[in-house]
């Protein structure tokens, strides 16, 4: 199986590659449109800033490549946010795969809630979906983010921090996870394994 991990100016790519290798996969890190189009699975990871990342994608024509993907596609963290239609981070128009807006967390109680949201939190309200198959009860995942996707019809799992937000999205052949599966121990490993088996 050929797994393309999209290279763009974002952090955290190496840990995604290591997590895939631990599952026995052989991912390639690439920004070559032909490599991405010919892959069996495509993963769109990232930590970073939305407008800068979108600028990189557009400069290389990768924005349209991502919109045209037909194989299973997984966005992670910033990758989830860029698959939405708009981010409040520097007022950024994103890829529009999911008709969802990305907003900044506003702490209601600064003593209890810090922004960014950093740490372990549970997945709730899981829908029946191949990505979520056979997850353990009360699955915990690791988050690092200041922005979140609103709840929508594409939401297949939620997490509560300040309020409920979208933890995982799915629409057609596109999935996206706000948490970092590569840092989420057994649950993250199972999510990645499920994706590779879709």
149/27 Cα distance (integer angstroms): 27
The tally of CA atoms less than 13 A away on the side-chain side of residue 115 is 13
* Annotated active-site residue in 49, 77, 94, 145: 77
CB 185 within 8 A of CB 179: no
182 flagged as catalytic? yes
d(CA 31, CA 65): 10
12 is written with which tokens? 């955290």
CB atoms within 10 A of CB 12: 18
| Catalytic pick among 108, 180, 186, 189 | 180
From 84, 89, 117, 182, the catalytic residue: 182
77 is catalytic: yes
CA nearest to 147, candidates 174, 169, 117, 120: 117
Specify whether 160 is catalytic. no
Q: At what angle do helices 185-196 and 13-22 cross, to 10 degrees?
A: 80
Tokens of 168: 């995982």
The catalytic residues are 77, 180, 182
């Amino acid at each position: 199986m050929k797994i393309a991990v999209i290279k763009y100016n974002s952090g955290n790519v190496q840990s995604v590659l290591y997590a895939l290798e631990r599952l026995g996969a052989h991912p390639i890190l690439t920004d070559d449109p032909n490599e991405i189009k010919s892959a069996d699975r495509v993963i769109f990871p990232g930590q970073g800033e939305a407008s800068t990342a979108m600028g990189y994608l557009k400069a290389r024509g990768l924005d349209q490549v991502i919109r045209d993907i037909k194989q299973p596609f997984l966005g992670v963290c910033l990758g989830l946010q860029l698959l939405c239609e708009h981010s409040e981070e520097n007022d950024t128009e994103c890829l529009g795969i999911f008709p969802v807006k990305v907003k900044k967390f506003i702490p209601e109680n600064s003593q209890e809630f810090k922004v960014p949201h950093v740490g372990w939190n549970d997945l709730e309200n899981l829908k029946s979906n191949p990505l979520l198959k056979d997850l353990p009860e009360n699955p915990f995942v690791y988050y690092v983010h200041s922005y979140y996707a609103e709840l929508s019809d594409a939401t297949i799992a939620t997490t509560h921090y300040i309020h409920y937000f979208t933890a995982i999205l799915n629409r057609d052949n596109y999935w996206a996870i706000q948490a970092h599966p590569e840092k989420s121990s057994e649950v993250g490993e199972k999510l990645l394994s499920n994706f590779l088996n879709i």
